[in-house]
Each structure stands twice: as structure tokens, then as C-alpha cells.
Chain A
Amino acid sequence: MAGDPGMTPILKVTDLKMHFPVKEGIFLRANKFNKAVDGISFEIQPGETLGLVGESGCGKSTLGRCIARLYEPTSGSIEFEGTDITKLKGKALMPYRQNIQMIFQDPMESLNSRHTVGDIIEEPFIVQNIGDKASRTKRVRELLDIVGLPARSITRYPFEFSGGQRQRIGIARSIALNPRLVVCDEPVSALDVSIQSQILNLLVDLQKEFNLAYLFIAHDLAVVKHISDRIAIMYLGNIVEESTGESIYHEPRHPYTKSLISAIPVPDPHKKVNREVITGDVPSPINPPSGCRFHPRCPRVMEKCKVEIPQLRTVADHEVSCHLEDM
């Protein structure tokens, strides 16, 4: 896919699948599978942000958790700087845990309420057995400073902080070990508008300073466009379109991308948009539609779409999976 051919991608994902068994009946046998991620491929270059957009239930968070190896994928491969980490376990995975970190959506649930902020940020060093107590405390202070929290926060507890500050604590923890890649799963969705921009600015600054690569997962398209170099649009476990941020927004090709973009409310009362509202809901990933998964909601559906699964192909500078000739 897109990206500089000369560079080694920091992350290369090939045909990744994550199927969760759905247990039913008195014997709890898994006859059905929730195909949350169903054959996804992409690359991320060092220092780059790939935005991942989709509606709830499209599998974007599952994908993020596979990359951070919180899940073990069903099949496919995840290569980090050329090494396949898909099936690594326990100790063998430890070095990659340093390099791939995660920021979660809910800064209250992802911080242990019984630990002080100092303990929370210090924990990655203890787990990885890095430094002694004095050097770790020094580093925690540095990290607090980097994310814009006062040094006295070190002895406080998460509940003493506001949502935006808690997210700063989560960010400090995620960058503690100097990772190369950070999976950001809806990092600003739970925050108020005026706080959201503070956190976005922080993430952009950290990326510049430490050459971080981000997989930035969100449903707010304006936020994703702001922070991303390239954007992938997901629908029911598949990537349906991928391109640069500007190109996705100004020349969307896939009918789903088009309707998604036209659905964003614009904060300008003079622009009364004439939108193509797509009908219906996202179908269940347990029993996805045949052929193209978007066909039951697609305004331009053809007979072919109902039977044949479209493959990703290159149209101008986009990768699109759609049967339409004139997108």
C-alpha cells in the first residue's frame, strides 16, 4: 500500500483476522464466529499517523488491541520492524511491549484508582525491570513535565484529576518506555471540546519530539483528519478505503466513505448541507451480508455487489474495495 517504498515500515499487517467464538446452547459450543476483524492489511511508517475510522462495531478497537497484542489474532500476521510478533507469547513478547504502547478511551477505567499517579507511571519500568527507584522517580517527574502536569501530581490519585488531566496521565504512562508505536483508541472521545484540543496538541507535539508512529482510532472524522497522515475507513471488519487525509475528505471514492463524510455536522450555520443520508444500521459481524458487506445500505448497489466480494484496488491515489467503475 501507500508509503515510501524505500522505508521499512514500522508496522506491517497482512490479512489479519480476529474471530471471536460465539458460544451457544447447553454445551456452549462455538458454532458461530464474530468476525470482528476479517482480513485487514496495512502499513505504518516510522513517525507517521494512520487514522482508523469507522462506526461502532466495525472492529476498529479489536484491530487496535490485536496490534498491541492484547489479543492473539486468529490468523494473518503483524510484523513490527520486520519481526513477526503475531504468535509471540510471554517473555518473547516483552521487548515489543516496550515498543508498542496503547492509550485508552476512558481515562478513568484505564487507570488503577488505588495507585498514585507516580505508581501508575512508574509501573512500566518495574515490569520491564528498568533502572532503580531513584532513577525511575526522576523519569516519572520528567514524564509529568512532558505531558504538562505539575510535579506534585506524583503523590495524588486519579480521582483527584479531571478527565483531560487523567488522559495526560495515561499518555505519560504510554510514552514512558520510549515506544516507537502508540495505538490511540478513541483518546479524546470522552473529553469536552475545550479539553480535546489540548490533548490533540499534546499528541502532535509528542509525535514530533519523539518520532512516534500512531495508529489513531476514532469515530470523529474531523479529529482523525486533523491528526492523521493517511486514513483508513473500516466497515464490518474490512478496510473499504485508504488514502491521504486530504484526499479521503475531498475526493472520497467508496460510497460508504462518501456518506460518512456527508454525515458530519459542519459547525457553520451558513452551510446547510444536502446530505446523502444512508439508511439502516451496521449489520451484525456474526452474520455479515454476502458479497460486499456494505451492499444492503449502499445507494449505488448493483447485482454483482450482492454475490461477489470486492477486493482492494488502486484508484488514483486511493485503495478502494468497490465494484463501481465510476467512483
Chain B
Amino acid sequence: MAILSVNNLVTEFDTDEGRVRAVDDVSFTAQAGKTLGIVGESGCGKSVTALSIMRLLPQPMGKIVSGSVELDGTDLTRLPIPQMEKIRGARIGMVFQEPMTALNPVHTIGRQLTEVLLIHKNITADAAIREGVQILDRVGIPSPDVRMTEYPHQLSGGMRQRIVIAMALACKPDFLIADEPTTALDVTIQAQILELIKELQADMGMSVILITHDLGVIAETCDEVVVMYAGKVAEKGSVFDIFDRPAHPYTRGLLKSIPTLNTIPKSTLSVIDGMVPGLLDLPEGCRFENRCHFSIDQCISKPPVLQTVKEQHQVSCLRWQEIQA
């Protein structure tokens, strides 16, 4: 069952150098109780997609130009702000990358955590504190009642990220958007946090959109994957489609370029030559064309459209059949 669908989303930013289209015609659906991964390199539009869903684009530069984000049939892009505020935090929770900047340094953990509860639930301050302590305990914070009175700087990075997750989950949302939740953390802490998100998801039957650049994290946690490149969807499908039968040359290149524990030490890693084109001077045709070994004249003249490889597996490449063969 689709719970959230993003349809032909276009998001633009006004910058000094001109208008930049950070997200260009992106569509995907997230299924209830599942994890959808969005993977891509810096500047590919994955975070802007998340911010567009939450309607948290920096103002006044960022703007959703067209497309829709439907949550149970309601188009979030057209909701008036007061109604959107009722959805944020209550129905969709969000976890940000850098737990230090996501928390307010001058307020106690307790105050920040209970704020969510007090806004969305009709409860007393005492009840909110009690509930806050329970949530902290649930996300694995030792001596939660003491932590409620402490400030973010008194906690480690892993602890802070648990607090941010606790805040996102305080109102038991149906949906969690996690934007690089573990990128700033060490591997052992990353493992703890990913495990925690999985447990909570199973507990609460929540759906998750996980945004990351780490293909290892995607492979371990996601059911469905969207691969983004320069603001567009390059490929989307089940995690097995993407890892076993990637059809886009960019996906293939990414998968081949990461060293794993099984690659021969000091062997030459395969690379994707060149760089991502700047969003201000995007090519007319396929955006990956300048780095692609399969490029033909048609790739330069016309942007590719999403083509169906098989059910639920789509790719935006003219030559996917040859590539996958």
C-alpha cells in the first residue's frame, strides 16, 4: 500500500547566479511499513526532496514549482502552513544529519523533547515530561530522567542523534524521513542507530525514507531504492534490482567504484571519470552523458525518459537493455 507518493516534483532555488532547479521531475512512492532509500552524491537533490516533502525549504529562495506530494490522498504541497504544521512532527517525523545543529544548544533536552508533545498532543506539562522520559528510555538513553535536564553539549554525538530520533518519534508518526542520520557518526554508533531505527519501525509499523550516500547502509536497511543524479531520478527499483541488476550506467559505476573488504588491495578501482555537471549549466540531453561510456548522439540531444525494466524497476537511460545484458 502506498502511503506517500511524490509525483513529478520540481523544486527551484533563486540564487545570485540565477534560478537553479535542484529537483527536476522526481516521482516515487513509499510503501507502508517499508524503508525507501534515496541515494546519490552531494548536490543530487536528495535532501531538497526531503525538505520539499516536509515543506521546510529555505525561504524565500526555495520553492516547489510543480508536482505534488500526496500523503493518504492529501496534497501536502498545497496545504496551508497551519495545517502543514499539524502534519510535521505528528504524522511525519524528520531526523537531520548533524545532531548538533538540529538541537538548540541553549535549551535542555527535556524542553526540546516536550515541545513536540505539547504542540501536537493535548496534555499537561507533567504528562509530557513523563512521556519524554519514556521515549528517551525507548531510544536507549541511559538514566533518561537526568538527561532531560541536560543540554546538548553534555552528550556525545551518538546520544544526540538518539535525542533527535526521540524527538522525531515522540508523536508516533506514520512516517519518518531520515536525512543522512548516521553520516556524522562512527561505524559502531552507526550500527547502533540503524538497529534502533529498524526496531522502532518494526514496533510502530512506521514507514521510513532514508537518505544517504552510503550504498552499504542502503543495502542493509532498504526495501526500495531511488538513485538520484543531478536532480533527477536515474533509476529506481527494489534493493535487489538495484544491486543485482543495475540498469543505469551511473548506478553500475557507483557500485563498481566502492572498495569492499573483498577487493584486492591496491588494485585499480574502477572510476566514474569527470564530475557532476553544475546545476546552473545543465546539458540539454542526459545529465550523465559527459561521464558515460555508453553515450551516443541521442544522449546529447534529448533527455532520456524513465523506462520500465520490469515491474517496479525503472531507469532513465536509452541504452539500458545493452547495459544490463
Chain A contact residues, CB within 8 Å of chain B: 55-56, 162, 164, 192-198, 200-201, 204, 207, 219, 221-223, 225-229, 245-246, 249, 259-273, 275, 277-279, 281-282
CB distance A260 to B188 under 8 Å?
yes
For B271, give its contact among A198, A204, A225 (CB under 8 Å). A198
Give chain B nearest CB distance to A206 CB in angstroms: 12
Cα distance A135–B16 when bound, in Å?
41
- Minimum Cβ distance to chain B for residue A147 (Å): 14
CB within 8 Å of A: which B220-270 residues: 220, 239-240, 243-244, 253-255, 257-261, 263, 265-266, 268-270
Chain B residues within 8 Å of A, Cβ to Cβ: 41-42, 156-159, 186-192, 194-195, 213-220, 239-240, 243-244, 253-255, 257-261, 263, 265-266, 268-273, 275
Chain B residue at smallest Cβ distance from A283: B156
Q: Is the CB of A269 within 8 A of B219?
A: yes
Contact A222:B261 (CB < 8 A) given known A201-B268, A201-B271, A277-B195: yes
Contacts of A259 in B (CB 8 A): 188
Q: Does B219 lie within 8 Å of A267, measured CB to CB?
A: yes
Q: Give the contacting residue for A193; candidates B41, B260, B263, B268; CB below 8 A.
A: B41
Q: Determine the distance from Cα of A245 to Cα of B266 in the docked complex, in whole angstroms.
A: 11
Please state if A221 and B261 are interface contacts (CB–CB under 8 Å).
yes
* B266: contacting residue among A204, A249, A279, CB under 8 A: A204
9 new A-B contacts, CB < 8 A, other than A196-B257, A225-B261, are: A197-B258, A201-B269, A222-B260, A269-B220, A275-B191, A278-B188, A281-B156, A282-B156, A282-B186
Distance of A196 Cα from B190 Cα, bound (Å): 21
Q: Which 5 A-B pairs have the closest CB atoms?
A: A265-B216, A226-B259, A55-B186, A192-B41, A197-B269
Task: Kindly provide the distance from the CB of A254 to the nearest chain B CB, expressed in whole angstroms.
Answer: 13
- State the majority secondary structure of interface residues on B: helix
Chain A residues contacting B239 (CB-CB under 8 Å) are 269
The answer to whether A219 touches B186 (Cβ under 8 A) is yes
Residues of B within 8 A of A245 (CB): 265
From A55, A193, A227, A268, B265 is in contact (CB under 8 Å) with A227
- Could you list 5 examples of A-B contacts with CB < 8 Å? A221-B261, A225-B259, A225-B265, A267-B255, A278-B188
Q: A197 to chain B: which residues have CB within 8 Å?
A: 257-259, 269-272
Q: Which residues of B lie under 8 Å from residue A164 when comparing CB positions?
A: 275
CB-CB under 8 A from A249, the residues of chain B are 261
CA A200 to CA B41, docked complex, whole Å: 17
Bound complex: CA A103 to CA B151 (Å): 36
| Neighbouring A residues of B190 by C-beta, 8 Å | 263, 265
Q: How far is the CA of A266 from the CA of B258 in the complex (A)?
A: 11
Shortest distance from the beta carbon of A191 to any chain B beta carbon, whole Å: 9
With CB as the reference atom, state the residue of chain B lying closest to A55: B186
Q: Which residue of A lies closest to B239 (CB)?
A: A269
Q: Which residue of B lies closest to A297 (CB)?
A: B188
Tell me if A193 and B270 are in contact (CB < 8 A): no
Docked Cα-Cα span, A273 to B189, in Å, equals 16
Q: Which of B156, B213, B259, B263 has most A Cβ within 10 Å?
A: B259
Could you tell me if A192 and B191 are in contact, using CB atoms closer than 8 angstroms?
A: no
Contact of A226 among B214, B240, B266, B271 (CB under 8 A): B266
Measured between beta carbons, the chain A residues less than 8 angstroms from B159 are 281
In the assembled complex, the Cα of A272 lies from the Cα of B222 at a distance in Å of 11
Q: A56-B186, A200-B269 are in contact. Are A223 and B253 (CB under 8 A)?
A: no
Contact A266 B260 (CB under 8 A): yes
Known: A56-B186, A201-B269, A245-B265. A193 touches B257 (CB 8 A): yes
A279: nearest chain-B partner, CB-CB: B192
Say which residue of B42, B157, B216, B273 sits within 8 Å of A192 (CB atoms).
B42
Quick one: which of A195, A221, A260, A265 contacts B214, CB cutoff 8 A? A265
User: In the assembly, what is the distance between CA of A263 and CA of B218, in Å?
Assistant: 14
Q: Is the CB of B266 within 8 A of A162?
A: no
Rounded to whole angstroms, the CA-CA distance of A270 and B243 in the bound complex is 9
Residues of B within 8 A of A266 (CB): 216, 219-220, 260-261
Residues of B within 8 A of A227 (CB): 265-266
A267–B219 Cα distance when bound, in Å, is 5
A272 — nearest CB in chain B belongs to which residue? B220
Assess the B259–A193 pair: CB atoms within 8 A: no
Please determine whether A226 and B219 come into contact, CB atoms closer than 8 angstroms.
no
Cα–Cα distance between A278 and B266 once the two chains are bound (Å)? 30
> Is the CB–CB distance between B158 and A193 below 8 Å?
no
How far is B158's CA from A242's CA once the two chains are assembled, in angstroms?
27
Q: A262 contacts which chain B residues (CB < 8 A)? A: 191
